[in-house]
Structure 1
Amino acid sequence: MTVHVTKTAGRRAEIAWAPEDDPHGYLAVSIEGDQLACALAALGSPKGLADDGEALAVITRHTTELARLLERRAAVLVVQLRDEHGMSWPQIANRVLGDPDKHSSARRMYDSGRRHLGV
């Protein structure tokens, strides 16, 4: 993985990636469309994000869009863990969800990931 997030100074960071790290343009779109900025703002400051409801609704929409994309991408990664790396359901559940007993949740993620892949 060549996506790098580097803390530069104080409360600043720089994100860098190579074009081959973003073949579908998800990184570029999330940055250019303010999804990443809004999601990070929501993480850092749950109150006081906007003075009016319309601005807050935009921030919420962008945050939700990014969360959905990340959920889909995580599901696809679970497919890779299972199909390419041969991990068992308890292993995936432990590594991804922090609890080996959540293997049925890992299976649901897997099924979702396969649907997103069109398999």
Structure 2
Amino acid sequence: MTVRVTKTAGHKAEIAWAPEDDPRGYLAVSVEGDQLASALAALASPKGLTDDDGTLALIARHTKELAQLLERRAAVLVVELRDEHGMSWPQIADRVLGDPDKQSSARRMYDSGRRHLGV
């Protein structure tokens, strides 16, 4: 993976990737459509914003859109872990969810990932 986030100075960072790192264009769209910026703003919990101009609602919308995409991508990665790398349910539950006893949650992610893949 050559997507890189580099802290440059103070409270600044630079994100860099090559086109082959983003074959479906998800990263490019999230940057160009401001979803990534909005999600980062939501993490920073901006104080004093009003919704007079729709800014707060837009941040919430973009954050939700990116969160949904990330949930789908995580589910597809669980399918890859299981089908291509042969990981067991306890292994997936431990490594992805942080608890080997959450096997049923891992299986739900797997089922969701398969639906997203159209399998």
The RMSD of aligned alpha carbons is 1.1
**Are positions 1:103 and 2:103 aligned together?**
yes
Partner of 2:94: 94
Alignment match, 1:3: 3
**What is the match of residue 56 of structure 1?**
56
Query: Matches of 1:117 and 1:49 in 2, distance apart?
Result: 41
Aligned mates of 1:97, 1:14 — CA distance in 2: 28
Percent identity over the alignment is 81
What residue number does 1:68 align with?
Answer: 68
Give the alignment's TM-score, normalised by structure 2: 0.95
TM-superposition CA deviations, 1:23-77 (whole Å, max 9, x none): 11101110011100000011112x4262225211111000000000000000000
Scaled by the length of structure 1, the TM-score of the pair is 0.95
Structure 1: 5+ residue stretches without partners: none
8 A Cα contact 1:90 1:100, kept in partner: yes
Partner of residue 20, structure 2: 20
Q: Does the C-alpha gap of structure 1 residues 42 and 49 become closer, same or farther in structure 2, counting only changes over 3 Å? A: farther
- Unaligned 5+ runs, structure 2: none
